[in-house]
Amino acid sequence: MVIDVNEIPKEGLHIDQDFDFVSLDLVEEDAVFLEPTHAVVEVKKVGSDVRVKGRITTRLSFVCSRCLRPFEYCVDSTFDLVYLPEELDEIKDEIEEEDLEKFFYYHQQLDLREIVLEQLNLSFPLRPLCSEECEGICPVCGELIHDGSCACEVKVSDPRLEKLKSFLRDKR
Ligand SMILES: [Zn+2]
Ligand SMILES: [Zn+2]
């Protein structure tokens, strides 16, 4: 969905729409969409700048990076961006930094689909986890560790603890 910057009305645009992206569009390799991506976006022109403010919601299936099981991940992410005309791209370094993130639009156009996809990708966690407490897979038997259900005795060494230990050893 391409927005012509010159055609944004004074009162702005209000867009409330579903976007169908495919998993290939995502940075997260094993993610699968469980529903379309819903975006509510306000597009407003302020002088030659375009402010794009919105909220993205969707549900995906991610693969936990510890236990490798799929789990449902809900996205509810907001963004507030300012797009400047391309002419300013060249003097980018001279533009003072403000709280709002700044981007550029080219040929008087803004591709809302692209913006929503980019913001969706940015909302993903670096390492998806089914839960913060996920204990992952036992390195001995390869079974899932659930509430300590695995019978193997695994000595997990904390690298920070090891460091402290060797530090104390050296002191002696
Ligand atoms: Zn997990
Ligand atoms: Zn085990």
pLDDT digits (tens, 9 = 90+) for 97-146: 554 567 899 999 999 999 999 999 999 999 999 999 898 888 888 888 87
**Is 107 in the same domain as 157?**
no
pLDDT at residue 89, as a whole number: 62
Same-domain pairing of 10 and 37: yes
Same domain, 109 and 142: no
Range from 22-31, 48-57, 154-163 carrying the lowest mean pLDDT: 154-163
Domain that holds residue 152: 135-172
| Same-domain check for residues 110 and 145 | no
Which two tokens mark 107? 């040929």
Q: Ligand 1 centre from 60 Cα, in Å? A: 15
Per the structure, the count of domains in the chain is: 2
- Of the bound ligands, which one is closest to the alpha carbon of residue 134? 1
- Give the mean pLDDT of 12-27: 95
Is 142 found in the same domain as 85? no
Please tell me whether residues 172 and 160 are part of one structural domain.
yes
Distance from C-alpha of 120 to C-alpha of 60, rounded to nearest angstrom = 11
Residues 100 and 154 in one domain: no
Same domain, 116 and 139: no
Does residue 96 carry a pLDDT above 70?
Answer: no
Q: Are residues 90 and 159 in the same domain?
A: no
Instruction: State whether 97 and 146 are in the same domain.
Output: no
pTM of this prediction? 0.77
Q: Are residues 123 and 139 in the same domain?
A: no
170 and 143 housed in the same domain? yes
Ligand closest in space to the Cα of 129: 1
Model pLDDT, residue 138: 86
- Judged against a pLDDT cut of 80, whether residue 50 lies above it is answered with yes
Tell me, in angstroms, the distance from the centre of ligand 1 to residue 86's CA: 44
